[in-house]
Homo-oligomer: A and B are copies of this chain.
Amino acid sequence: MKNYEAYLFDLDGTIYRGNEPLLAAIDFVHTLYQKDIPYMFVSNNSTATPATVAKRLQNMGIKATPSQVITSGEAAVHFISQQDKEKSVYVIGESGLKTLLSEAGMKVKEDHPAYVVVGLDRKITYEKFTKACIAVRNGATFISTNNDSAIPTEDGLYPGNGALTSVITVATGQRPIFVGKPEKMMIEQAIERLGVKRETVVMVGDNYDTDIRAGINANIDTIHVQTGVTSKRALEKKDIPPTYSISSLSDWII
């Protein structure tokens, strides 16, 4: 074990499971808070704003401010804001993503936008897919908040944003820029915001294929927690192991 100067956390499967907080994780974050060790939450979910996510965490007894949360929607907005191109966007997504785009002063338009941004939209229609396809064919930069194939719910696995995004990928033959984990973009943005050195940061998550892979892609250390998607056994089949794998955050001493 190494003493890291900053911690990045996944949410579902790491901090809570569905609506149920994981007590070891909550204690762990509380210790970080007390010891004044910086931490952030890095979520692929684009349907909620960082403010909404922070509120949800606070309601679970976790110290969290909106600026300690990076969502894939926010990361997409940040990415666009840094490009040297007109800031007009056609967006497929829910209110969280739309709020962030409009707060950043980006112009939402259907006709020849500079960007198409796709986030999970449970009110998706054929017309929305069509507008996105035509814009991408007309040269819009195609961005997707994440490539999650499915979302766990109490009723089973629902289609994820990666599944919805595939409609546009297949129809246009264009692959999107994915913002969310396992891409490194959100990790890079978190490191930048924390203002710490890469070698002092660790990414903590339950899902090897998203959380741990994102850490590996960003060239930082990783802690796999066995409280969610990826079992200890499943890890054995992975080509690059996480830096550590622990049964829960109560096993990590700081």
Contacts and interface: CB of A to CB of B under 8 A. Distances in A.
Nearest to A153: B130
Interface stretch (A19-27, A119-127, A190-198): A119-127
Contacts of A121: 126
Interface residues on A, range: 20 to 34
Contacts of A129: 124, 159, 163-164
B159 A163 contact: no
Given A121-B126, A124-B126, A168 B173 contact: no
A137 B130 CA distance: 28
A135 B139 CA distance: 37
Given A124-B126, A126-B124, A173-B149, A167 B156 contact: no
A149 B171 contact: yes
Nearest to A120: B126
Contact of A124 (B124, B158, B163, B173): B124
A134 interface: yes
A124 B123 CA distance: 10
Copies in the complex: 2
A243 to B, nearest CB: 29
Contacts of A162: 170
Contacts of A169: 166
Contacts of A158: 126, 130, 133, 171
A84 interface: no
A152 to B, nearest CB: 12
A155 interface: yes
Interface of A: 121-126, 129-130, 133-134, 137, 149-150, 155-160, 162-164, 166-173
Given A163-B168, A163-B170, A166-B166, 18 more contacts: A122-B126, A123-B125, A124-B124, A124-B129, A125-B125, A129-B163, A130-B158, A130-B159, A134-B155, A134-B157, A137-B156, A149-B171, A149-B173, A157-B171, A159-B171, A162-B170, A164-B167, A166-B170
A-B pairs with lowest CB-CB distance, top 8: A163-B171, A159-B171, A163-B170, A166-B166, A122-B126, A163-B167, A166-B170, A150-B171
